[in-house]
Amino acid sequence: MAIPKMGVVVLDCPDTGRLAEFYAQMLGWKVDPDGDSEWTEVLDEDGRRRLAFQQAPGFIPPQWPSEEHSQQFHLDLDVPRARIEEAEQEVLALGARLLQGDGDGARDWRVYLDPAGHPFCLCLCDR
């Protein structure tokens, strides 16, 4: 049996509060009020799943796609097929930027950048 257990995924960024608010609104989670400008977390409705944001002075966002400035990490977020357009409008309104569409339905995902420049995908699912 493995001893380590998954704790929290942490994204570096220049503004922890701004990025925490973006993800909290997008996921329907809440920003942990105990956060500060160096470390802020968002929590799911049960408080069991967390996503953290760490201030990184001199942060340089990844580029998509790039061998020189690779993404190193991204989030895949499942979206019911029937609600992809609605989900896209929501993330754009929150400050995301569409980077790569689904090729007129050729792919089951779309790539976006969050306000700090991290790539994430809205992936179609059949739920």
Q: Given this model, what pLDDT does residue 99 score?
A: 95
Domain CATH code at residue 19: 3.30.720.120
In a domain, 1, yes or no: no
The three-point CA angle 119-117-8 to 5° equals 65
pLDDT, tens digit, 9 for 90 and up, residues 57-91: 988 888 877 777 776 777 889 999 999 999 999 99
Q: How confident is the model at residue 11 (pLDDT cuts 50, 70, 90)?
A: very high
Quick one: 47 and 77 in the same domain? Answer: no
The verdict on 69 and 20 lying in the same domain is: no
**20 pLDDT more than 60:** yes
Q: What is the pTM of this model?
A: 0.81
82 shares a domain with 45 = no
pLDDT of residue 65: 77
Nearest to 109 by CA among 119, 5, 118: 119
d(CA 29, CA 69): 30
Residues 105 and 76 in one domain: yes
Domain check: are 53 and 66 in the same one? Answer: no
Domain, as residue range, for 19: 8-58
